[in-house]
Structure 1
Amino acid sequence: MKIITIRHPYDPAQIPDEDIVLVLGFFDGVHKGHQKVIQKGKQIAEEQGLKLAVMTFNQHPSIVFQKIDPDTMKYLTNLSQKEGIMESLGVDYLYEIEFTSAFSSLKPQEFVDQYIVDLHAKFAVTGFDYTYGPKDIADVAHLPEYAKNRFTVVTVAKETDEGEKISSTRIRHLLDEGDMEEANRLLGYSYEIEGTVVHGDARGRTLGFPTANIQYTTTCRLPKEGVYVSELKVGDRWYPAMGSIGHNDTFGKGRELTVEVYILDFHQDIYGEQVRVRWLHLLRDQVAFNGAEALIDQLHADEEATRNYFNEKKQVQEKK
């Protein structure tokens, strides 16, 4: 997959000189609803003998339109994660458009001319609710009018689950509730975050549960505070783990929110490593315990529950 970063106005030489199927959207999370739109584009590309291109943005449009502080935005997927998922879906070209004030000021016809027609799109594939400007004049219903018969518009219907639309908003609510099974089912993969292992206060080691303290970006959306069955990726390998998101209230109020991961049967030094954490199942909410002893007892119970989770998962896989 080739990634093409575009800043408006762009140099036409950046654009591959071949006809494409272009799928449009922001795709935060690249969930099952998004995947259906991309897969429709892939199907058309294969039928027509064309390359598949997807267009996304480097940041959420509301940062420009509503003048929101970029550091306060919480994404389900950062650009790196989005790129990996797009590649796995068979995308040939990924256009990452820098969503600037200049780009946002494009009129609907200008956007269509410069970012669909001039990208050599013969098919433009979108979800039913895609917009490219003010909703009343720049929705999918108006797209054929702006297309002027230069490309075919394909609109993919709403993807529902149990009668409710699959959406990034719905998945965010599930993360806020700690319902990882449902969130992961709607995503079509296990939710994960990226970060760097940094030095913490080393309290876990004194409790008999040494943890990797994960430094994450401010724009990363974390599940609700709690203790989770998790997996941590170091290098090319995923390890079963127990993850904690919380403030360590047992040791005092007003502490910083941290992400700490205890890796089962793991004894390597991984400080400074870039890692990924998958969130699989909420074991319990965070609790302020009456001292270290009570916390240690609970951590042993959490570890046992975590081991049971992975053992049951292994047994299910072996029966298949």
Structure 2
Amino acid sequence: MIYIDKADFQIDSACVAFGSFEGVHTGHRAVINRLLEISKSGLTSVVLCFDGHSDEEQILTTSEEKRELLSENGPEVLIFYEIDKQSFSLDQFIKEVLADKLGAKVIVTGKNDPHLPALREHSKKYGFSIEEIETVNIGGEAVTSQRIATEITQGSLEKATEMLGHPYLMMGEVMHGKALGRTVGMPTANLGVGENKLIPKHGVYATLSIIEGESYKGLTNIGLRPSVDSYRYVTIETYLLNFAKDIYGKKIQLEVQGFIREVQKFDNLEQVKNQVEKDLEYVKNNVKQ
């Protein structure tokens, strides 16, 4: 896969899917799978992700996470195209990007895509056809990024995973924390993520961490730490099973696979350790590796 994150690209005879691809969920995957099928006829498969959000807007997937999720069974070319939502012109985008820069022959999109009327209007003028994909429904409703975000903020990871088609992914670097877990023999990796990244409901989760190509089951606490300090900031701390390496500054892909329990306040670190040992049994039996 060729990865492009700047505006100066030129491709001829492409099959294109474009949009935010927020979450890279099952609806997006249906579009991309069809794109890959059509591209076998000799077209270059291109996924163009709109890049650009406000500072207050929370997102399901960063550009890095989208790239990771599309690295397998993805397009030949992945483009991140920065836009200003306030001044974005779809007509101009169709001409200057889809037609001129990509030489689009086929546009693949969902039947509920709000861009469809404009695409139909310009298809003959710019010489591309439109492949419309049926909406993916789960639980009697269309799969949308907003539905998924709601489930994640409520801690309903099973529902979110079903709609995403993959566990909720959080990528970032391991940061230095207060190392309190080491005092009870349970060192944790403190994950730093982007400020706009949507954080799941505060609680304790069963997770899988991928570090330098290796995967490790883990127990992740997301939220405040009422048992160990009074700081009012959210942390994402993971205790990794059977792991004893120094990974400060390393990149982690954290798959959030299941919600175990709410965050609780304990009287001392020994009580924390006892509860964690119970939680780890759930992790050992339920996390898919």
TM-score w.r.t. the length of structure 2 is: 0.92
Amino acid at match of 2:45: L
Secondary structure (helix, strand or coil) at the match of 1:200 reads: coil
Label 1:303 to 1:126 Cα distance change in 2 as closer, same or farther (>3 A). same
Residue 3 (1) aligns with residue 39 (2) = no
Match of 1:306 in 2: 283
Residue 34 (1) aligns with residue 35 (2) = no
Per-residue deviation, 1:130: 2.6
* Rg larger for: 1
Contact 1:229–1:241 (CA under 8 A) maintained in structure 2: yes
Root mean square deviation of aligned Cα: 2.0
State which of 17, 28, 42 in structure 2 corresponds to 1:23. Answer: 17
1:174-185 to 2 correspondence within 5 Å?
174-185=151-162
String of CA shifts for 1:54-102, please: whole Å, max 9, x gaps: 1112223xx3xxxxxx2x332221111212222322301222111136x
State which of 118, 129, 136 in structure 2 corresponds to 1:159. Answer: 136
Per-residue deviation, 1:107: 3.9
Match of 1:82 in 2: 66
Moved more, 270-279 or 143-152: 143-152
Per-residue deviation, 1:208: 2.7
Match of 2:46 in 1: 53
Amino acid at match of 1:216: V
Label 1:212 to 1:6 Cα distance change in 2 as closer, same or farther (>3 A). closer
Identity %: 30
Match of 1:250 in 2: 227
Match of 2:167 in 1: 190
TM-score w.r.t. the length of structure 1 is: 0.83
Match of 1:67 in 2: none
Distance 2:236 2:88 in 1: 41
Contact 1:25–1:130 (CA under 8 A) maintained in structure 2: no
State which of 206, 210, 221 in structure 1 corresponds to 2:187. Answer: 210
Distance 1:83 1:244 in 2: 26
Match of 1:147 in 2: 123
Per-residue deviation, 1:252: 4.3
> Which ranges of structure 1 fall in alignment gaps of 5 or more residues?
64-69, 132-138, 315-320
Distance 2:88 2:201 in 1: 38
Amino acid at match of 2:203: G
Amino acid at match of 1:58: D
String of CA shifts for 1:213-247, please: whole Å, max 9, x gaps: 11222122221111111111221100111111121
Per-residue deviation, 1:294: 2.7
Secondary structure (helix, strand or coil) at the match of 1:249 reads: coil
What is the number of equivalent residue pairs in this alignment? Answer: 287
Secondary structure (helix, strand or coil) at the match of 1:15 reads: coil
Per-residue deviation, 1:254: 4.4
Distance 2:80 2:284 in 1: 41
Amino acid at match of 1:165: A
Distance 1:272 1:142 in 2: 46
Contact 1:112–1:147 (CA under 8 A) maintained in structure 2: no
